[in-house]
Amino acid sequence: MTVLDIPVSLRWADLDAYGHVNNAAMLTLLEEARIAAFWASDEAHPGGPVPAAHHTALLDSGPTANTLTLIARQEVEYLLPIEYTRQPLVVRLWLSHIGGASIDVCYEVLLRGTVHAIALSTIVLVDAASGRPRRVTSQEREAWDAHVGPPVEFRRRR
Amino acid sequence: MTVLDIPVSLRWADLDAYGHVNNAAMLTLLEEARIAAFWASDEAHPGGPVPAAHHTALLDSGPTANTLTLIARQEVEYLLPIEYTRQPLVVRLWLSHIGGASIDVCYEVLLRGTVHAIALSTIVLVDAASGRPRRVTSQEREAWDAHVGPPVEFRRRR
Amino acid sequence: MTVLDIPVSLRWADLDAYGHVNNAAMLTLLEEARIAAFWASDEAHPGGPVPAAHHTALLDSGPTANTLTLIARQEVEYLLPIEYTRQPLVVRLWLSHIGGASIDVCYEVLLRGTVHAIALSTIVLVDAASGRPRRVTSQEREAWDAHVGPPVEFRRRR
Amino acid sequence: MTVLDIPVSLRWADLDAYGHVNNAAMLTLLEEARIAAFWASDEAHPGGPVPAAHHTALLDSGPTANTLTLIARQEVEYLLPIEYTRQPLVVRLWLSHIGGASIDVCYEVLLRGTVHAIALSTIVLVDAASGRPRRVTSQEREAWDAHVGPPVEFRRRR
């Protein structure tokens, strides 16, 4: 199983008055990693396509696209507070499940080699026109299969 | 067991380009409900204290306070998308566990009587001076005990 | 000339690591005041319309509406830092100009009676279908005229 | 006069329900450009300093630093809406004034070579310990002087 390591930069506004990355801002960081991993190039833009960095980036997504990626479920454990740094975080990302119309995405959020948070999101692929879930295609399944591994292990679940 | 029903207003900026409340913004809405439920009046402010609406609001928290409330874990299920409305959401909140230095907070997010999301947060009470967890006081336990009930039932956990 | 005084609640996440309301978050607070002042009831929603609090709220706006309200220009002076408080800010709002297809909105942001920020936004009314500016209607002009006054006086413009 | 061209990546959450970068999010993008231009390496962090990309980055800033950079004033003209793109924006940045304890920062926000927004911020340098403005040092003035040019020309000021 191969993980994807995706650099994601903090913003100053991600911090709250405790001086740490806010708990909600963490989900925005995961969202950015997910987009890098799964959204295809924004081809339609004038000036030519911006290629995606990852071969897993197959979803024609975004506001005007055929597929919406909706979050059905999300779980995060905040292991260590994250202070401001110019150094990008590394979001290590893999899949723990490819379902009929959904995927489970696992994350470790690393800063200087140390895991600061772990998380899991269940994403449903929705057809933009009908608003209904659409099936994972065989092309997607093939590209994603190499990145399927065991789910992240939560420690604090009750 | 008595729940606390806390109105929380959406902001236009909570929506993303799908026209729904963004998954991360949902955590900010829960944060606001938690503050209404647990943070004591901001007494120190000139012009006099602003009384809290709930008798559970005992934590002397905020950026300059004795207790920091850190999120250790968070789990959300997004059941229905939420579009923009001027009508406040109701965050129904209760506790499923009072630990030595932490509490588990459960939520149902209601719009027009329908549950749109469910969630659970584990909050650790941290002494601001030492940076270490501090014990739930007997006064806090007494005020919070009437709001302890069964944990919210997640449907999509694997 | 009559001003509109609109309470807007802070959120904890509006603060940044300086412990003050972030400069960008201030624009989100003004946006909320503007929506309260100018956007009509969200009538379409099941469960019935939510009436607007102000007779100036005539714009059928929001993501699925006929009129988009786009910001062409914005100017803010931050006079005093704003710390976290549960007490709503008061955004005092009036118009300094009603143009053919745009309005100039002025603001004073008050906390405990003291002006903490002043601002001005130029809003263009855009027809959602055509994407082009549309004229201020006579009904809008009539309702808004009573709130037209001199522009807010900036002190630090160069 | 030499401008600094600073790439700043959009985030999906910067968009609002109109499908454009929200007016307040634009200020967050400018904030990130400013930090890249003016904040020194976060040297204190374990694992070693992260060098700044620009020789103008001299301010020992951030939440625990000696200098706070407070925004006194901000002005933005939104010339063209910005849709989501994976391609970084370029924030072109220069100074139009170096005062005793403040600087005026000008910006053009470029996407595919076209200016989408222009802005100006007045930043006051504040001594973190005393909370009072502190003077621009001769070292700062020397590094910044090469980037002083005419102020950005606003078109819609009244």
Tokens of D43: 């040297």
pLDDT digits (tens, 9 = 90+) for A18-35: 999 999 999 999 999 999
Distance CA A63, CA B17 (A): 6
pLDDT digits (tens, 9 = 90+) for C110-138: 999 999 999 999 999 999 999 999 999 99
* Mean pLDDT of chain D, nearest integer: 92
Res. A50 pLDDT band, cuts 50 70 90: low
* Strand arrangement, sheet containing C114-127: C4-8, C89-98, C102-111, C114-127, C67-78, D67-78, D114-127, D102-111, D89-98, D4-8
Distance CA D6, CA A4 (A): 27
If you average pLDDT over residues B13-39, what whole number do you get?
96
Residues of A in contact with B31 (CB under 8 A): 23-24
The confidence score (pLDDT) of residue D48 equals 54
* Mean pLDDT of chain A, nearest integer: 92
Scanning D15-34 for CB atoms below 8 A from A yields 15, 19, 28, 31-32
Determine contact: D64 vs chain A, CB below 8 A. Answer: yes
Tokens of D140: 């700062």
Q: Which of A12, A83, A87 sits opposite D35 (nearest CB)?
A: A12
Q: Which of B13, B19, B24 sits opposite D22 (nearest CB)?
A: B13
Backbone angles phi, psi at B54, to 5 degrees: -125, 140
Distance CA A142, CA B125 (A): 46
Res. B138 pLDDT band, cuts 50 70 90: very high
If you average pLDDT over residues A41-59, what whole number do you get?
70
Bridge partners of B5?
B92
Instruction: Give the SS3 label for residue C35.
Output: helix
R_g (Cα) of chain A, nearest Å: 16
Alpha-carbon dihedral of residues D11, D12, D16, D19, nearest 10 degrees? 120
pLDDT digits (tens, 9 = 90+) for A118-149: 999 999 999 999 999 999 999 999 999 999 99
The confidence score (pLDDT) of residue C156 equals 85
The confidence score (pLDDT) of residue D42 equals 64
Give the single-character DSSP code of D41.
P
Residue A44 has pLDDT above 60, yes or no: no
* Mean pLDDT of chain B, nearest integer: 92
Residue C50 has pLDDT above 80, yes or no: no
Distance CA C32, CA C12 (A): 16
- Distances in Å between the Cα of B77 and the Cα atoms of A122, B32, B59, B113, B155 are 9, 18, 27, 17, 8
Scanning B76-135 for CB atoms below 8 A from C yields 83-87, 112-113
Closest residue in A to D64 (Cα–Cα): A19
Give the CA angle between residues A121, B106, A132 to the nearest 5°: 40
Sign of the dihedral through C-alpha A74, A15, B121, B113: negative
Beta-carbon separation of A27 and B28 below 8 A:
no
Smallest CA–CA distance, residue C54 to chain B, in Å, is 13
Smallest CA–CA distance, residue A32 to chain D, in Å, is 7
Pick the closest to residue D74 from D122, D23, D24 (CA basis).
Answer: D122
B65, B125 in Cβ contact below 8 A?
A: no
- For chain D, what percent of residues have pLDDT higher than 70? 93
Distance CA B89, CA B29 (A): 9
Smallest CA–CA distance, residue C139 to chain D, in Å, is 25
The confidence score (pLDDT) of residue C41 equals 67
Backbone angles phi, psi at D19, to 5 degrees: 80, 15
D75, D106 in Cβ contact below 8 A?
A: no
Count of helix runs (H) and strand runs (E) in chain C? 2, 5
Neighbours of chain C (3+ CB pairs under 8 A): A, B, D
- Distances in Å between the Cα of C77 and the Cα atoms of C106, C117, D74, D83 are 12, 6, 6, 28
Closest residue in A to D35 (Cα–Cα): A12
